[in-house]
Amino acid sequence: MPDPFFGQNEKKTQWVGRHDWTVSRTFEATDEVLKRKAIVLRLEDCDAFCTIRINGREVGRTTDRFQRYTFDVKPYLRAGENRIEGVFRSPEKEADKRREKVGRPFPMSNVQWSKNQALIRKPACHAGWDWGLAQMVTGFCGETRILAYDDCKIDYVYSTQEFNADFTHCDLTVYVEITDADGKASTVTSKIPIDNPPLWWPNGAGEQKFYTYTVKVGSQTITRKIGLRKVEVLNTPDKDEAGKPGARMAVRVNGRELFMKGANWIPCSAFENEQTPDRYRDLLESAVAANMNMIRVWGGGQYEKDCFYDMCDEMGLLLWHDLMFSCAVYPADERFLGSVREELKHQVRRLRDHASIALWCGDNECVGALTWFEETKGENLPYYKKLLEARHKVSDEAVAKYDPQRMFWPSSPCAGPGNYANNWKNDSQGDMHNWTVWHENASFDAYYTFRPRFCSEFGYQSFPSREVAETFCAAKDLNPTAPDFEWHQKNPGGNQRMLETMARYFRFPQGTDAMLYLSQVQQSIAMKTAVEGWRAQRPRCMGTLYWQLNDNWPVASWSSIEYGGKWKHLHYQAKRFFDPLVVVGLPGDKIAVLNDTAADVKAKVIVEEWAFDGAEPLSSTTLERTVKADSADVFNAPECKLAGPRFRVLRLVTAAGEFVNDWLFDYYKAYDLAKADVKVSVDGFKVTLQTDKPAFFVWANAKGVRGEFSDNSLTLLPGRPVTLTFTPKGKVTAAEFRKSLTVTHLRETY
């Protein structure tokens, strides 16, 4: 295979998914193993159509990546060397065969070549997505293990938690599901009363404390580190100020409602072998560093590896967990639904003990998808709608049966449990996906016109950095309309939209670097506008999860972290706009102080007026506010004193420190930005920046050096130097770091 990430090689690697593959190895079976009463082969994440043979004889078959398969292998083993083979049939061809059999189309949007992906159970995005490489990988993707035992094997271990009203007592019930050597299954339970339970809190709301329990069954011991906490998803009906009925979507943890701040998660690499614990940790630590408390595991990907959930528990990242269905109409015949039942029975029991999982959501955008395709709308709609309802019912029942303490949210977006109506543009109930700005090309301030209860998707694209772009095309092709570069844009018209947006808001950038940089700046402005506007609507709005956190290959996309882990402007901005204490300027000359802490905050809000070439503020007004815990305080801004082109700087001074934001009243292109002279001095990994004139989106970049700055993408003001600390993520000397460092800002793009 040529490197599928480079140029247009993706086209040259499609044969991989159209072939059958045999994976084999030998292993020793010792007498010790062979004399056990039961010997089974257990496969997790076996993707997807595999026939297992041992010593040439068929042992079993798999058809669903998301199920766990357990095959009796005792009759097939012999003393000494054994050969095990997995014969993987082409998933693309299997999907096509199923399409012929069902005699009806089951379209999925965004897939590129393998059009019948909805008919098979493997990650939808293997067939490509509007940010993703199409590579129909197949193979053993999870744990593949032989278990030999005389007594029994442990299949699942999980617990339920019942708290008293003030969380000073928890009754923990542990369930252990076992199968004995004769194949008989049973469940053992144990009740553990815990006084003063150590509570687990999401990031930003408290510590992540853990309680450890150990299960011993026969020769096996399993230790679980669990977080004790109560998570509720509230969907209470209410009315807005105009009397219009709606319903909330809010998350309450240990009795406290928390504003959810985060992003959507896609598989962290298109290749399974690159989905390493290090990569998960790096991305999740970046989420925590950006003040996130929730990640949405999106339904077009996969049930993640165990380490992902362990890390989310450890770091206090709540999970909105989609079931793996996305942007498609799916069949609902007995075979398909039977498969779905089995996979949910497994995945829900496998994952339910994780403190991080807040809710199960039936799918991504499948209600909306009913009307996206010619083949499914119009007179065919009732038929496909029925199938959707049948699948939702199966999912709903599985969650109720296997994890009754968690909310089943039918779809994202939707109005709430039991409501299967299309909630696409509905900002009065449940969650919404707001794509008006990107997919419908509205201006950034259109975000202000929505009043979501919970926005679980909204996004704006950017190009990756030059260093990532250089990994997928030759230097001569570093141009947004060069074919190799365009190939790394999977959303039709995406590059044009980004360029058109530049023309709308900015003076047009000169050169490739300026263009790449500006694309990231405008993406950060779009997301900042949405989040600040919606956080200010708390408690009407109780959550914002932007699309998307990460990439699965090097590409232009909506991500805030590019492939390889480097933060874009957006990720630095997210760290600020998700800060627990924020001040923001809003349309209608309003200021909002956002307080996501559990305490009332005494704040000084300093409102300064600046000229674009000013050396100091032209005026400064100080307001004293007391902002209630967990609230947004919105009030009138002091009147502008001066005419002419001005911008405002808002400073929020509290016991926690100072938070600074700026506030412009027109597009950047409308102003004559000053040619600021930003001076850079470096001491080890500390970078001090100072300027003679206001400089916007000041960007420190360590090209080719892995690591992040303590802050970046900032407004630098004269007389207010800023010192950034760079934390390397690999081995690098201070001298190498200094050599790699460049600093630029908005005025330098033209």
Which residues bind to ligand BMA, rule: CB under 6 A? 129-131, 300, 326-327, 364-365, 433, 457, 547
Cβ proximity to ligand BMA, 71 vs 460, nearer residue: 460
Name the minimum Å distance from CB 647 to ligand BMA: 32
Cβ proximity to ligand BMA, 129 vs 553, nearer residue: 129
Cβ proximity to ligand BMA, 457 vs 486, nearer residue: 457
CB atoms within 10 A of CB 609: 19
SS3 of 449-514: HCCCCCEEECCCCECCCHHHHHHHCCHHHCCCCCHHHHHCECCCCHHHHHHHHHHHHCCCCCCHHH
Cβ proximity to ligand BMA, 90 vs 491, nearer residue: 491
The DSSP string of 4-28 is TTSTTHHHHTTHHHHS-EEEEEEEE
Cβ-defined contacts of 206-214 (< 8 Å, 24+): 208/313, 208/314, 208/315, 208/316, 208/355, 210/313, 211/172, 213/159, 213/172, 213/174
Name the minimum Å distance from CB 297 to ligand BMA: 12
Cβ proximity to ligand BMA, 316 vs 459, nearer residue: 459
Number of DSSP helices (H) and strands (E) in the chain, helices first: 15, 43
Name the minimum Å distance from CB 558 to ligand BMA: 6
Cβ proximity to ligand BMA, 144 vs 519, nearer residue: 519
Cβ proximity to ligand BMA, 125 vs 746, nearer residue: 125
d(CA 574, CA 544): 11
The answer to whether residues 676 and 614 touch, using CB atoms and an 8 Å cutoff, is no
d(CA 132, CA 137): 13
Cβ proximity to ligand BMA, 129 vs 402, nearer residue: 129
Q: Are strands 169-180 and 152-163 parallel, antiparallel or unpaired?
A: antiparallel
Name the minimum Å distance from CB 326 to ligand BMA: 6
In sequence order, which residues have a C-beta less than 8 Å from that of residue 465 and are 6 or more positions away? 516, 520, 562, 566, 568, 701
Cβ proximity to ligand BMA, 272 vs 322, nearer residue: 322
Cβ proximity to ligand BMA, 430 vs 694, nearer residue: 430
The answer to whether residues 150 and 34 touch, using CB atoms and an 8 Å cutoff, is no
End-to-end CA distance of the chain: 41
Name the minimum Å distance from CB 522 to ligand BMA: 17
Name the minimum Å distance from CB 40 to ligand BMA: 38
φ, ψ of residue 458 to 5 degrees: the values are: -165, 140
CA distances from 169 to 230, 258, 481, 700 (A): 12, 22, 62, 50
Residue length, the chain?
750
Name the minimum Å distance from CB 424 to ligand BMA: 10
Residue 589 CA to chain centroid, in angstroms? 33
Residue whose structure tokens are 């709903």: 396
Cβ proximity to ligand BMA, 420 vs 506, nearer residue: 420
Name the minimum Å distance from CB 439 to ligand BMA: 6
Helix (H, G, I), strand (E, B) or coil at 699: strand
Alpha-carbon dihedral 396, 398, 399, 401, rounded to 10 degrees: 120
Name the minimum Å distance from CB 18 to ligand BMA: 24
The answer to whether residues 639 and 621 touch, using CB atoms and an 8 Å cutoff, is no
Angle subtended by helix axes 494-505 and 512-535, to nearest 10: 80
Cβ proximity to ligand BMA, 309 vs 558, nearer residue: 558
Widest CA span of the chain, in angstroms?
90
Enter the DSSP assignment of 198: P
Helix (H, G, I), strand (E, B) or coil at 140: strand
Cβ proximity to ligand BMA, 460 vs 699, nearer residue: 460
Cβ proximity to ligand BMA, 424 vs 667, nearer residue: 424
Name the minimum Å distance from CB 414 to ligand BMA: 13
Name the minimum Å distance from CB 492 to ligand BMA: 11
Name the minimum Å distance from CB 406 to ligand BMA: 22
Name the minimum Å distance from CB 116 to ligand BMA: 18
Name the minimum Å distance from CB 364 to ligand BMA: 5
Helix (H, G, I), strand (E, B) or coil at 541: coil
